[in-house]
Amino acid sequence: MRLPLYISVPHAGKRVAPELQDLCVLRTEDILADHDTGADAIYFPLQDQVAGFSTTDITRSLLDLNRAPDDIGGDGVIKDHTCWNVPIFRHFPGMELIRTLLERYYFPYHEQLSAGAGTGTIKLGIDCHTMSAIGPPVGPDPGRMRPLVCLSNGDGTCPEEWLRSLAHCFASACKEQVAINTPFRGGYITRSHAAEMPWLQLEISQTDVFSNAFKRDCVLEGLQRFCHTVFGDRT
């Protein structure tokens, strides 16, 4: 039986939306540096293990699904620079183009997440990311070493006991300390969809000390332990 979880992977994409190809000045290496390296290898295998799964192939450098739709510019839904402070556009998109991008790519993704909450079989949503091993210039912890795992429910987006239980399950699976709400406290996806069902954010370090296969296995084992512990026979 599938785990009663909804997995969201919004930052694994590497493709430039065709509407922005004439405006984007990023090199391929800039896009790769800005996306969630390893997210596909770690999280995509979960598709057959969970009750709901969403991702996108559009790069977050140009359209960030984990930002509010009216957060335009800066590090918002439509950015003017990457997290490494690399300029993105020849000139910034106009509002008509931005509305088109939101309608075609952004809102359908969030509608999928909302629909998952209405199934009655999904108990928890997890917004899944990978993070730079050391904090980039645009972030809450520039230049600092990051933990292997960070879990976030900064605004109470899921029950505290669930968060603590999942942290314990991941620590047992990975044999590494798990950080809670440090350096991240949860993004727009967890905060905006928590009114529909509990959500939390999961960040796995991109460190090369551990392979993506090890990280994948740790995530799956941690989620299985958590669902058995919290939901019991309901899984």
Instruction: Quick: pLDDT tens for 46-57.
Output: 999 999 999 999
Question: Taking the model in full, what pTM does it have?
Answer: 0.95
pLDDT band at 87 (very low <50, low <70, confident <90, very high): very high
Residue range 17-38: average pLDDT?
A: 96
Q: 3-class DSSP state for residue 81?
A: strand
29 vs 27: CA distance, rounded Å: 5
Question: Hey, what are 51's tokens?
Answer: 């009750």
Least Cα distance to 127 among 103, 150, 105, 143 occurs for: 150
pLDDT at site 120: 84
Which amino acid makes up residue 202? Answer: L
235 pLDDT above the threshold of 50: no
pLDDT band at 59 (very low <50, low <70, confident <90, very high): very high
99 vs 81: CA distance, rounded Å: 19
Helices then strands, each counted (H, E), the chain: 7, 6
233 pLDDT above the threshold of 70: no
pLDDT at site 81: 95
pLDDT at site 119: 85
198 pLDDT above the threshold of 80: yes
Residue range 181-206: average pLDDT?
A: 96
Instruction: Quick: pLDDT tens for 199-210.
Output: 999 999 999 999
φ and ψ at residue 87, rounded to 5 degrees = -60, 145
Question: Hey, what are 224's tokens?
Answer: 């299985």
Residue range 75-94: average pLDDT?
A: 96
106 vs 50: CA distance, rounded Å: 23
155 pLDDT above the threshold of 90: no
Beta pairing, strands 199-205 & 149-152: antiparallel
173 vs 210: CA distance, rounded Å: 13
Residue range 135-163: average pLDDT?
A: 94
Average pLDDT, the chain: 95
